Structure 1
Amino acid sequence: MYELYLTHVKGNADKITYIAIDEAQEIEGWERFVRGLEEKCKAKIIVTGSSAKLLSSEYTTLLSGRHVEVRVFPLSFDEALKFKGIEFDSELQLAKNLDRIKKELVEMLNYGGFPDVVLHPEVRSELIHSYFDTVIVKDVVNRYNLRREEKIRNLAKFYISSSASRITYNSVSKFLKIPVKTVERYSEYLEKAFLIFFTRNYSQSPKAVENSPRKVYVIDNGFLKFFSTWSLGRAFETLIAQHVMRYANRRLFEVFYWYSQNAEVDIIIKNDKGSLLPIQVTYELNEENRKREIDSIKKFSKYGKTRPLIITFDQEGEVEGIKIIPAYKFLLKTFEILDSMLV
């Protein structure tokens, strides 16, 4: 096909050619073909796939130094609004469409950001269940040749129902009656398949970080709606954490949580300069939780000067020097806000 293109279509030798190969992981030896193609032609090659198998280490080793990896998450909040034609780029547009924007935020809290789920709400239950089955069967069971599919399904559903919670492999092992080593191995499979992701307890000791309980999050809120008992607080924190992880992945920053002596900060971002940004996530800051949320941030300040942030559903302002941002603003300007605070 490429030779025919060069002979009959291209014409201008200086013109850049783009070659797109979709679902490449379905063809054995695709990576050798791509490398050979890259060596013999002046073209930009885009390899795409919906399976975590595309990121296998054997592929990246063969293509080392020749590729840039881009991980495509479910839609972010601003992308979901653009999909629905809702304008928000200017302050006037934001004010004009604010009621609809908040309504769409509630939709994403409930049903997540998979493109077809956003665009076709009438079949979102079927879509979410189909995506879950695809991840479990195609990206985990078949890829790793597992014999007991029900075990990985039970573990996946447990993690989904535990989103925004701290867990240990030992506690999961006892609850599900699965050996600890199996829990550890299966957890790695689910993370590599991008169904879940983990954060660890922040410490200045690498050993303490490694040995700390993990905090688990599901990659999309749609799974929370259909595979767990839905909780507004967990759904809200999970949505914020997904956008923070998208930011950290792009910037190559680290994400933690912090827990010590009944004080907890939900999210800690550490940039490449060692700067720390503590973020508390609470749907509403009120008399009941205000002292707890603020005191935890103050206790974390022992690690150095920080510029803390509290994210709520729609409150905005400042309390004791801590900035409060409504979720819709944070989600629409995640990169801009976090870049300005992580200096």
Structure 2
Amino acid sequence: MIERKIYFEKIKPFIDKDIIKVLTGIRRSGKSVMLKLIMKELKKNGVDENQFIYINFENLRNRHLCYADTLNEYILEKAENIQEKCYLFLDEIQEVKEWEKCINSLRTEDKQFDIYITGSNAKLLSGELATYLAGRYVEVEIYPFSFKEFYSIYQNINQNISKEEIFEKYVKLGGMPFLHNLNYEVESSMQYLKDIYSSIILKDITQRNNIRNTELLERIINYIVMNIGNTFSANSISKYFKSENRKVAVDTVLNYIKACENAFLIHKVPRYEIQGKEVLNVSEKYYIADHGIREAILETNERDINQILENIVYMELLRKGYNIKIGKLNNLEIDFVCTKTNNEKIYIQVAYLLASEDTIKREFLPFEKINDNYPKYVISMDRFDMSRNGIKHLNIIDFLLKD
């Protein structure tokens, strides 16, 4: 079991506190493993495993528990045999109808429950949950492996391989945790990623949103993942289909995109007018949660290396807890404007190689137009340091491996 310290450190302060721990993220990103790591930590701190109640709602044996009343009754019955605090681990809770009512009811019981839940749909934290559990939950989103995690694992498989060769593997395969069980063998890894993609389409998007036109959904997803890092709108997609003599309403496109966001398959990044300090409501960018899935769908990661590097950096910034926007400065664009609640801000440009003076000018010039003292970085595959005018240049592998 691979320990994922970055997430555990976020959860640790809330262990044994009267607050519900909600772990969300794309299917198979490692949420269930995090529950097991929490159990492991609790046992290390002296908690008896007999105090644990663990239920995976994707297991057919637990199908009868997928109703709030039935689940509540089952948990209370199990808890009667536990003398001390009861630790409750509910995996893929979105399968339970009106699960919020069950969790809220358990919180009112005399019996003490420390509750941990996972889910693969962003709607988990909207609507009724906000009403029933407002201020009583904390969310931690679990992402696929970072390059640093991937690098650490891959080195154990093959110690006679360079950082650059491992990064090439990461560009192709992405960071889905289970791939290490396949020893990162390409053919079996691609088959696994295709199966995950199909499962997300079926279980987390079409079934959950009553989408009947799966073929249209997949074509919209293909359009999005082909255009990672490019600004476009739902209207752009509608026009694209119109050029192919197919009429698709903008509202339909928007609904399908939102369903993909809710399944954590893609992330939308708004554009931000740096001078006017306002968010622009047109032509966002999108990134995929795991670029290995993109390779399984399109088989073009190496050819589209600029887009993949940008996607990798975006996901790394999410892991580091940044709020991210696309910066617009007159007719110039900055890939990422990244902020945190402590007033920390950084600007980032991503390029494959700074191979010519024109490329260097294109990447550095937007930063030279910004009149503030926040850190500004250009990230690329180049090994030589091309920092200039207070703008720092970083190699992408070094950026991804540093703390």
Runs of 4+ displaced beyond 6 Å:
none
Residue in 2 aligned with 1:28? 97
Residues of 2 paired with 1:207 and 1:261: CA distance?
12
Which blocks of at least 5 consecutive residues in structure 1 are unaligned? Answer: 88-96, 337-343
Residues of 1 paired with 2:330 and 2:103: CA distance?
53
Sort the Cα spacing of 1:29 and 1:215 in 2 relative to 1 into closer, same or farther, 3 A. Answer: closer
- Cα displacement (A) at 1:321: 1.8
Residue in 2 aligned with 1:332? 401
Residue in 2 aligned with 1:315? 383
Which blocks of at least 5 consecutive residues in structure 2 are unaligned? Answer: 1-73, 243-247
Residue in 2 aligned with 1:339? none
Sort the Cα spacing of 1:259 and 1:4 in 2 relative to 1 into closer, same or farther, 3 A. Answer: closer
Q: CA RMSD in A?
A: 2.7
Contact 1:84 / 1:119 at 8 angstroms: preserved in 2? no
Aligned residues: 315
Contact 2:150 / 2:175 at 8 angstroms: preserved in 1? yes
User: Is 1:284 aligned with 2:353?
Assistant: yes
Q: Deviations over 1:25-77 (max 9, x none)?
A: 22223222222223222231111234445344323432222211111111112
Contact 1:19 / 1:46 at 8 angstroms: preserved in 2? yes
Residue in 1 aligned with 2:241? 176
- Cα displacement (A) at 1:170: 1.6
- Which structure has more relative contact order (CA 8 Å, sep 6+)? It is 2
Identity of counterpart residues, as a percentage? 28
- Cα displacement (A) at 1:313: 2.2
Q: Which amino acid aligns with 1:233?
A: N
Contact 2:155 / 2:161 at 8 angstroms: preserved in 1? no
User: Is 1:43 aligned with 2:113?
Assistant: yes
Q: Structure 2 length normalisation: TM-score?
A: 0.70
Residues of 2 paired with 1:276 and 1:309: CA distance?
11
Q: Deviations over 1:179-214 (max 9, x none)?
A: 112212222221111111121222158895232311
Q: Which amino acid aligns with 1:190?
A: C
Q: Structure 1 length normalisation: TM-score?
A: 0.82
Sort the Cα spacing of 1:66 and 1:325 in 2 relative to 1 into closer, same or farther, 3 A. Answer: same
The within-5 A match list for 1:184-333 is 184-204=254-274, 209-228=279-298, 229-230=300-301, 231-248=304-321, 253-260=322-329, 262-272=331-341, 276-288=345-357, 289-299=359-369, 301-302=370-371, 304-315=372-383, 317=385, 318-333=387-402
Between Structure 1 and Structure 2, the one with more helix by share is: 1
Contact 1:284 / 1:315 at 8 angstroms: preserved in 2? no
- Cα displacement (A) at 1:263: 2.6
Q: Which amino acid aligns with 1:105?
A: F
SS class of match (2:326)? strand
The within-5 A match list for 1:9-158 is 10=82, 13=84, 16-40=85-109, 41-52=111-122, 54-84=124-154, 86=156, 99-120=161-182, 121-122=184-185, 123-158=188-223
Residues of 2 paired with 1:179 and 1:244: CA distance?
34
Residue in 2 aligned with 1:341? none
SS class of match (2:285)? strand
